[in-house]
């Protein structure tokens, strides 16, 4: 028993020393999401999260999307940060980003944009 608790303590110390900033994922209710935004979050989790951090400006393969609509221009393309331009990027894709015009319906896109506006 003492070995197990020592191992847990060492693991916790290693995580702290490594600067691990893992946070518990907040629920839709904790984020104050309405039904459309929650639907958009599910789409984001399925299609976007593997490359884009939602609540960080630090990216994965693509840029982080925290406050993406609160800036005048998008970080990589320099295009205006508005629904029309972001929709074009989602539909048509970019260099390493796949196009989603064949997989997301118009309603999916509206739900996704509604969620992205909460980031």
Write out pLDDT tens, residues 71-80: 999 988 899 9
Is residue 6 predicted with pLDDT exceeding 60?
Answer: no
pLDDT, the chain, mean: 85
Longest dimension (CA), the chain: 59
Instruction: Note the pTM of the prediction, 2 decimals.
Output: 0.77
Compute the distance between CA of residue 89 and CA of residue 73 in angstroms, rounded to an integer.
Answer: 13
Structural domains of the chain, with CATH: 30-116 (1.10.760.10)
Provide the pLDDT for residue 1: 54
- The two tokens of residue 16 are 């702290």
Provide the pLDDT for residue 18: 47
């Amino acid at each position: 028993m003492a070995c197990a608790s020592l191992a847990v303590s060492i693991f916790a110390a290693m995580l702290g020393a490594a600067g691990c900033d893992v946070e518990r994922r907040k629920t839709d209710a904790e984020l104050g999401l309405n039904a459309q935004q929650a639907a958009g979050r599910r789409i984001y989790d399925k299609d976007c999260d593997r490359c884009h951090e939602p609540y960080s400006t630090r990216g994965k393969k693509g840029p982080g999307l925290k406050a993406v609509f609160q800036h005048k221009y998008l970080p990589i393309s320099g295009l205006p940060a508005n629904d029309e331009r972001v929709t074009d990027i989602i539909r048509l894709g970019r260099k390493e980003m796949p196009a989603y015009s064949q997989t997301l319906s118009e309603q999916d896109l509206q739900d996704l944009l509604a969620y992205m506006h909460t980031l």
